[in-house]
A = this chain, B = another copy of it.
Amino acid sequence: MSTAQDMLFRTLADPTRRALFERLCREGEKTVGALTERAGVSQPVVSKHLGILKQAGLVRDRHEGRQTHYSAQLGALAPLVDWTSEMAGFWQSRFDALENLLKRMDQ
């Protein structure tokens, strides 16, 4: 089984891809051409990365004539936040258990 976290981590692991997503977050909707200009890679690479980002739900595409506009879908980051919270939660509960133990020992 492939979890949502797995998809997100793998998708965001590539620097080029993450940079594309960051630009869409910072600057809002952009066409493939506009994204390619400062991406440092060729247009096919940009298209492919956008496809992967789309598959992960991190971006949305809107067709207008012969150009495609992409925009960030921030909600897709939710599983990432959830995962981080979960890990922190486990840590916290173990910390609480330790605190409890120390209190009991103190009595």
Contact = CB atoms under 8 A, between A and B. Distances in A.
Copies of this chain per assembly: 2
Contacts of A10: 13
A45 interface: no
B9 A18 contact: yes
Interface in A44-64: none
Question: DSSP majority for the A interface?
Answer: helix
Nearest to A17: B9
Interface string A70-94: 0010100100110010011011001
B87 A84 contact: no
A67 B33 CA distance: 55
Interface in A32-52: none
Contacts of A6: 15, 18
